[in-house]
Amino acid sequence: MRKFREAAIIMNKLKMTIVMMIGIFFMVGMLGTACAQGSNFSVKADTIEYDMQSGDGMAKGNVVLKQDGGTATAANAEFNSKTKSGRLTGGVVADRDDSHVVCYTFVMHNEDYSSAIGDARLTKGDKTLASERVDYYKNREYAETVGSWARLSMADGSILDAVKITYDGKVGVANATGGVAISSPPRDLTASADTAVYETNNSGYIELIGNAKATQDGNTVEGNRLRLNNTSNKAEASGNVKIVYVPKPVEKKENVTADENAALQMAKAPVEVA
């Protein structure tokens, strides 16, 4: 009889866990939206415990959380149904709509603020922000990296590297600081600076500030400040400006004189303007 009572208690705990956890995980963080009444939710794990008085719950082993088309998996999970906070640990993978999160630990501070920690990668649409830690504020669609490195990559192969990157998803603008390096194969562009403002839309711009340098199609512009237009491929430079222009290859001609050959060689040489 005792074993039957213990089994009944465990089953009651499991049922209460499923009921009380409704709306916790996907209400918060990058993937979250407030849950409507009666929304579909399920949690699976090897073991689940729940304290009805405090609201604290714990799921261990092969945790799978599902809500309204979103799914999160982890090794373990802790949560509080009253504060709507929680922590998933161990190989966390979460998906909802066009959002994808991969990290070691996912912390839900509250309904608006969440953190992906440990080789974190947050993908939204065609852009991925990676760092040691990425904090995300749902209401503002704003992400911020924490740590010694950060990378924003785009589906077209363009990459922005820096020590720190913040990204405003509403306007598509990234602010990067510390050892900024940009590579954009579609534009045949590489650039570097101390800080940068990167408007990631195709019709946007890149502004480089401090020790700014950009090379495109073999031509290089340096200055204290550079502004590059993504559509026109024009550059505006200010402060100690230096430009190195590499002319396009001149078609070789047969039977040219010595003077004509010298002129052709001069046309091939890089032109430096300071």
Give the CATH number of the domain where residue 14 resides.
2.60.450
Enclosing domain of residue 16? 1-111
Nearest residue to 161 via CA among 133, 205, 129: 129
pLDDT digits (tens, 9 = 90+) for 5-58: 444 444 444 444 444 443 344 333 333 322 333 445 567 899 989 888 888 889
Is residue 226 within 8 A of residue 240, CB to CB? The reply is: no
* β-pair type (47-50, 56-67): antiparallel
Residue 157 lies in a domain: no
pLDDT for the residue numbered 265: 53
Residue 198 lies in a domain: no
Please give the single-letter amino acid code of residue 22.
I
Residue 99 lies in a domain: yes
Secondary structure letter of residue 185 according to DSSP: G
Residue 154 lies in a domain: no
Q: What's the pTM value of the predicted model, to 2 decimals?
A: 0.76
Secondary structure letter of residue 235 according to DSSP: E
Residue 75 lies in a domain: yes
Residue bearing tokens 């982890």: 74
d(C-alpha 157, C-alpha 102), whole Å: 20
Q: How many domains does the chain have?
A: 1
Secondary structure letter of residue 200 according to DSSP: -
Residue 196 lies in a domain: no
Exposed (0-12), middle (13-18) or buried (19+): which is 236, by Cβ within 10 Å? Answer: middle
pLDDT for the residue numbered 236: 84
pLDDT digits (tens, 9 = 90+) for 86-141: 899 999 999 888 889 999 999 988 878 889 999 999 999 899 999 999 999 988 99
Of 194-203, 219-228, 253-262, which gets the smallest average pLDDT? 253-262
pLDDT for the residue numbered 102: 98
Could you tell me the sign of the dihedral formed by the alpha carbons of 87, 140, 205, 213, in that order? Answer: negative
Residue 203 lies in a domain: no
Residue 273 lies in a domain: no
